[in-house]
Amino acid sequence: MDAKTMVLDKYSARIYKNRKEHIIVMDGNGEIPTIAANARSAPGIITERGCCYAGCKGVVVGPIKDVLTITHGPIGCGFYSWGTRRNQAKASKEGEPVFVQYMFSTDMQEPDIVFGGEKKLRQAIKEAMEIFNPKAIMICSTCPVGLIGDDVQAVATETEKLYGITCIAFSCEGYKGVSQSAGHHIANNGLMKQVIGTKDTPIENPFTVNILGEYNIGGDGFEQIRILNKCGIDVRTSFTGDAAIDDLKAAHMANLNLVMCHRSINYIAEMMEVKYGIPWLKVNFIGLESTCNTLRDIGKFFGDQKLIDRIEAVIAEEMAEVAAEREHYRTRLTGKTAALYVGGSRAHHYQLLLNDFGVKTVLAGYEFAHRDDYEGRDVIPTIKEDADGKNIEHMTVEADPEKYHAYLTPEQLEAVKAEIPLSEYKGMMHGMEEGSLVVDDLNHYETEAFTRILKPDIFFTGVKDKYAIQKDGTMSRQLHSYDYSGPYAGFKGAMKFGHDVVMGLYTPCWGMVSPPWKNRATIEAHIGGGN
């Protein structure tokens, strides 16, 4: 029996029917199979997924550093998203506020559920203004807010008038959609409608980009910006790691959008292209080869020979700097196998980093990616929307008559498109080896079962799985929080990653798991023929 059949074997007919569509064995013939994704999780199955609020507040909105974000709801949601995603931020300049160390909540109580929470939300905003006087406030709704009918949008509009600040409400109740993904979409719509394009701060350097879907976990974004700046490329803003609201407002002035996390930010990438004429390029700063390819693609887009030469010089210098260390890790890791189960983009990006060290991926999966993240954007027209996704607003935009600008002429754009993945993403499955498994919404049981069958040397996943996998004898590292390490992006990040993985595999403790009396007992029992 193959691994897929063995794992599915335990399920009832109903669950079997559902789950078999979410588990794919790659056949390696170059054709990309169809996977079921972005569908509701079966109740009780122990999904690792979170909710829409986590996708909106926790992922996209929360990292914006100088915005005061209020969670409108009972205390839990705000508390659990306080300091738990490692989106680093530092003040843009002295005196600028950084709110990410704080949590703000309306801490709804029973009377707020009964009589409505709008009054408390207004009072909370008043208090926030009095104490902090922020330039922008964002409101993130939680489950009960939608149910009791609090009109957070009206409160936001009122707030803008009353205090003359930017105020945006996100209706990201936890039950919307089927995962964090709905929250990304809601956050994207809000930023597109009310933030991007509202402030015209011209760029000084034609080679100015935005990095979309980069949340600066463990300083990843800082390392990317270091490399880009070294090449002579300016970064207007990241969406949204270490982002300042004024930079997000002026993001439409940049000439190219680099998309790191396709899942969480592709909506904004598409809309900015239509509205402002800014093309987007799928990039990957995770892995040495990937980082080099990404930099070269950016060079090709701008087509400036000086820039291209500078990029090659930076690549040569950075690669030379890490060469010896890379070899050190490669000799210790070549031939090892890995499983990856991460949110919506890292399970792809990190396969390429693992390739740098000779590690083969035997299983990869996403919590909440859609089919296009697995199969490539070509399948988007064939994706059928189900009942759970219908209530997420689909925004359409048109070209802005004043602010539309294109760095390349239509002819130049077509020529560049032939060479680099502009407005295109081929998906995770592309390039995955024959026999490797792709699993969507991997649950607790499947994690344990696949680990025991496939016996990967390393399982990269999140904190909820980590200790169960480790207790079962497999090294596990977190690819959400980086186990409090990082950055893992770029040249220096790849070395940090190599260091951490080698450290985890070779820590002496692995050799001490079995107590000596157990070993001895086994041998004696064998010799004696008993037990």
Partner 1 sequence: MLDLTPKEHSERTALRINSCKTCQPVGALYCALGVHNCMPYSHGSQGCVAYHRTFLTRHFKEPAIASTSSFTEGACVFGGGANLKQGTKNVFDIYDPDIIAIHTTCLSETIGDDLNSFIMDLDIPEDKLVVHSNTPSYVGSHVDGYFNMMCGFIKYLSKNTGVKNGKTAILPSWSNPGDLREFKRLAALMNVPITMFPDQSGVMDSPMTDHYEIYPKGGTTIPEITGLGDCDSVIGLGEMTVTEPCEQLKKKCRVNYEVLPYPIGVENTDKFIMALSKMNGGNIPYAIEEERGQLIDLMLDSHIWFTGKTCAIYGDPDYVLGLTSLVLEMGMIPKYVLTGTPGAAFVNKTKALFDKYDVGEKCVSKESGDLFDLHQWVKQSPVDLLIGSSYGKQIARAEDIPFVRAGFPVLDRYGHPLSPITCYKGAIRLVEQISNALLDRIDRDVPDEQFDVIM
367-396: which residues touch partner 1 (CB under 8 A)? 387-388, 391
Whether residue 85 lies in the annotated active site? yes
Q: Which of 51, 56, 251, 494 is catalytic?
A: 51
Q: Which residues pair with 249 in a beta bridge?
A: none
Q: Which residues pair with 140 in a beta bridge?
A: 71, 170
Other Cβ atoms closer than 10 A to 305: 9
Is the CB of 210 or the CB of 461 nearer to partner 1? 461
CA distances, 5 to each of 37, 429, 454 (Å): 19, 20, 13
Other Cβ atoms closer than 10 A to 447: 25
Structural contact between residues 261 and 284, judged by C-beta atoms closer than 8 angstroms: no
Q: Site size for partner 1, by CB under 8 A?
A: 89
For 117, the 3-state DSSP assignment is coil
Distance of CA 423 to the CA centre of its chain: 18
In the shown chain, the binding pattern of residues 271 to 310 toward partner 1, with x for contact by CB under 8 A and - for none, equals ----------------------------------------
Within positions 209 to 228, which residues make up the interface with partner 1, using CB under 8 A? none
In the shown chain, the binding pattern of residues 121 to 160 toward partner 1, with x for contact by CB under 8 A and - for none, equals xxxxxxxx-xxx---------xxx-xxx------------
Q: Is 34 in the site for partner 1 (CB under 8 A)?
A: no
Is the CB of 83 or the CB of 303 nearer to partner 1? 83
Place of tokens 């270091």: 226
In the shown chain, the binding pattern of residues 9 to 28 toward partner 1, with x for contact by CB under 8 A and - for none, equals -xxx--x-------------
Q: Is 79 in the site for partner 1 (CB under 8 A)?
A: yes
Q: Is 6 in the site for partner 1 (CB under 8 A)?
A: no
Least distance to partner 1 from the beta carbon of 361, Å? 22
Within positions 443 to 462, which residues make up the interface with partner 1, using CB under 8 A? 444-445, 448
Q: Which of 19, 22, 49, 85 is catalytic?
A: 85
Q: Is 56 in the site for partner 1 (CB under 8 A)?
A: no
Is the CB of 158 or the CB of 289 nearer to partner 1? 158
- Among 1, 320, 418, 513, interactor with partner 1 by CB under 8 A: 513
- Kindly indicate which of the ranges 43-51, 186-194, 260-268, 351-359 contains the residues binding partner 1, using the contact rule CB under 8 A: 43-51
| DSSP label of 277 | -
Nearest by Cα to 340 from 369, 299, 378, 382: 369
Alpha helices in 2-88 (DSSP H): 3-8, 13-19, 52-53, 75-80
Whether residue 54 lies in the annotated active site? yes
Whether residue 184 lies in the annotated active site? yes
Structural contact between residues 245 and 166, judged by C-beta atoms closer than 8 angstroms: yes
Q: What is the dihedral of CA 313, 315, 320, 323, to 10 degrees?
A: -170
Whether residue 444 lies in the annotated active site? no
DSSP string, 408-463: S-HHHHHHHHTTS-BT----SSTTPPTT-EEEES-BHHHHHHHHHHH--SEEEE-H
Sort strands 136-141 and 166-170 into parallel, antiparallel or unpaired.
Answer: parallel
Least distance to partner 1 from the beta carbon of 38, Å? 12
Q: Which residues pair with 87 in a beta bridge?
A: 217
Is the CB of 131 or the CB of 320 nearer to partner 1? 131
Q: Is 464 in the site for partner 1 (CB under 8 A)?
A: yes
- Among 23, 32, 37, 51, interactor with partner 1 by CB under 8 A: 51
Is the CB of 130 or the CB of 204 nearer to partner 1? 130
Asked whether the CA dihedral 235, 238, 241, 247 is positive or negative, the reply is positive
Structural contact between residues 53 and 74, judged by C-beta atoms closer than 8 angstroms: no
- Among 23, 32, 54, 494, interactor with partner 1 by CB under 8 A: 54
**Active site amino acids:** 51, 54, 85, 184
